[in-house]
Amino acid sequence: MVNIRSYVLVVLFVVLIAVEATVARADANGNGNGNKGNSNGSGDKGNNNGNDNEGNNNGNENTGNNNGNGNKGNGNGNKNGGDNNGNGKNDDFDDVEPLPTGQERVSCKAKGGCHLKTLVCPAQCPEKKPKNNKRKKGCHVDCSSKCEVTCKWRKPNCNGYGSLCYDPRFVGGDGVMFYFHGAKGGNFAIVSDNNLQINAHFIGTRPQGRTRDFTWVQALSVMFDTHNLVIAAKKVSQWNSNIDSLILSWDGEEINISNDEAAEWRANKEEREVIVERTDETNNVRVRVSGLVEMDIKVRPVGKRESMIHNYQLPDDDAFAHLETQFKFRNLSDLVEGILGKTYRPGYVSPVKIGVAMPMMGGEDKYQTPSLLSPLCNACRFQGKSAAGIATI
């Protein structure tokens, strides 16, 4: 009898263990990919990715597969207008049939007070992309908490958030202005995230007696998935604003943008649409990679008066044509890196000295890359696949 009771107790004990294991597995699977029930769903180490985000499907009740697995809980797709995984088209609005007056309309998709509201472009700028970019402002739609439409030139604002201009001067995602010297002939990661990297190539000069180079950004390389888009300024000896000094290439092949009514180039690759459109007859473009970044870019020279004020001592046979750029990012992770990218981190506190004439940002050693097309640097995070247009060494 004692042996029988012992046998029964052993069986009950085994059954209880099996039930507990089943419950534990169900608990873990309900929170993502078996992440110990941390409400994450992508190996994100308990950073509550997906919580406090108005149910953006970042792991909760979705087996955690909508966040882009392996992103260490970086909020990929959150806090930046994300749509579950941060991939694919991700505009803040859908177009609605225009009014009889020709004024374009949109229906906002962004979460918040503007969600599903219809916004109408003003009569002064009825189109988001006017046919004559040079003489007409475009309708700028803001479906954020501002919930407004305004008339704006489609050019970079060098004092706006996410701008990169002059020699070179940044305004970060936190609104703080700073300078970054870099080095003549050097390449540096402006932004490096899980699915996007933007490098910049610096040109410059060092007058006699100066210990550092004066530098400007001559080219940008936008890397994502297996693709690479390069926007660069040609080297010109004498500047003429009526001559186009822009060079663009897609996966290593030069592309041309006509000056016709459309004035744009498009590529539809995988889940992303890439659009490059002229915003003036020469030297101005807007670049959009859906779900990742929008950039307004202008080519300009270093003017003689500017050179005299700053004592650049530029040679007579080089106008030092360079890029002025303003970025608008989507779906950046919470651990985004890069000279500009890190200023978009939640809670980021700038280390530069506020109030001085030229607040300097260091980090050349962290962000220098072997080439314009290389995703490698000491702090880089880009996880894109290697391709012919993207160097891996």
What pLDDT, in 10s, does the model give residues 116-149? 899 999 999 998 888 766 567 889 888 888 899 9
pLDDT given for residue 105 in this prediction: 94
The residues, ordered by sequence, that sit 6+ positions from 54 with a Cβ below 8 Å of its Cβ are 111
Residue 138 CA neighbour count, 13 Å, CB half: 18
What is the mean predicted confidence (pLDDT) over 211-235? 95
What's the token pair of residue 66? 């909508």
Residue 107 CA, distance from chain mean position? 24
Long-range CB contacts for residues 154-157, cutoff 8 Å, separation at least 24: 154/129, 154/279, 154/284, 154/286, 154/296, 155/279, 155/280, 155/284, 155/296, 155/298, 156/296, 156/297, 156/298, 156/324, 156/325, 156/326, 157/296, 157/326
What is the per-residue pLDDT for 133? Answer: 61
pLDDT tens for residues 13-44?
Answer: 444 444 344 433 334 333 333 333 333 333 33
What pairs with residue 198 in β-bridges?
A: 191, 222
Give the whole-angstrom CA distance, residue 201 versus residue 361.
Answer: 17
State the pLDDT at residue 169.
Answer: 96
Summarize pLDDT for 319-349 with one digit per residue, the tens: 999 999 999 999 999 999 999 999 999 999 9
DSSP alpha helix (H) spans, the chain: 2-29, 304-310, 364-367
Q: For position 89, what pLDDT does the model report?
A: 44
Average pLDDT taken over every residue of the chain: 79
